[in-house]
Amino acid sequence: MAKKEGMRRWWRREREEEERKQKRRREKEEEEKGAAGRREEEEGKKRRREKEEEEEGAAGRREEEGKKRRRRIRRGKREGRRGRSLQQVLLHLCLLHEETEEVQCVGEEKGRRGGKEKKKKKKKKKKKKKKKKRHEKGVAAAVVAVVAAAAGKEEEERRSGRKKKRKERKKRERGQRSVFHTRKQRRLR
């Protein structure tokens, strides 16, 4: 019996030790999870903050870039104008021209610059004209068809009127020699 009791105690101690070990493991895991979770939360917050700062910085940078771009464009326009006026002087020797001709030279230059736009406008106008013509032709054709049909009816009525008159004349002139010849007879005459 003592042996059995000793065995029981031993098993109990073993079980208790196992339970304690498992408890410690669970606690450690929970601590690690908690620490990891806290770490993840902190890292997430950090990432969010960095992202927000980056977006704000990017927006600021974009604005600055836009300003710079606008400045560059403005400056380019000014410089471009300078270059163009020089070009006019060199091309047309406006210094030697009279004032009226100088204005004309500027006009020529402008004309040369807007060539592509003028071509596009002309093409658009041509397309519109063609479209209009097609439409008008279609409408005209429909009208002609209706008119032709009406004219055909009128012609038919005229013919039938002639036939009636002819028949009446034939009846009147029955005894006399017929004035009405057939086509063949007319051709032979």
pLDDT > 70 in the chain, percent: 68
For residue range 47-78, list pLDDT tens digits in order.
888 888 777 776 666 777 778 888 877 776 66
Q: How far apart are CA 120 and CA 137, in angstroms?
A: 26
| The two three-digit tokens of residue 88, written as one number | 């006019």
When divided into structural domains, the chain yields a total of 1
| The two three-digit tokens of residue 147, written as one number | 């008119």
- Report yes or no on 94 lying in a domain: no
Whole-number CA gyration radius for the chain: 54
For residue range 159-175, list pLDDT tens digits in order.
777 888 888 888 777 76
With tokens 């009446």, the residue in question is 168
Q: What's the mean per-residue pLDDT of the chain?
A: 74
- Report yes or no on 86 lying in a domain: no
- Report yes or no on 51 lying in a domain: no
170: Cβ contacts below 8 Å, ≥ 6 apart: 178, 180
User: What is the average per-residue pLDDT within 135-142?
Assistant: 78
**Whole-model pTM over 0.85:** no
Q: Which backbone phi and psi does 176 adopt, to 5 degrees?
A: -75, 170
Kindly indicate the confidence band of residue 102, based on its pLDDT and cuts at 50, 70 and 90. very low
- Report yes or no on 155 lying in a domain: yes
- Report yes or no on 151 lying in a domain: yes
Do the Cβ atoms of 92 and 108 come closer than 8 Å?
yes
- Report yes or no on 40 lying in a domain: no
Could you tell me the residue range of the domain that residue 143 belongs to?
124-172
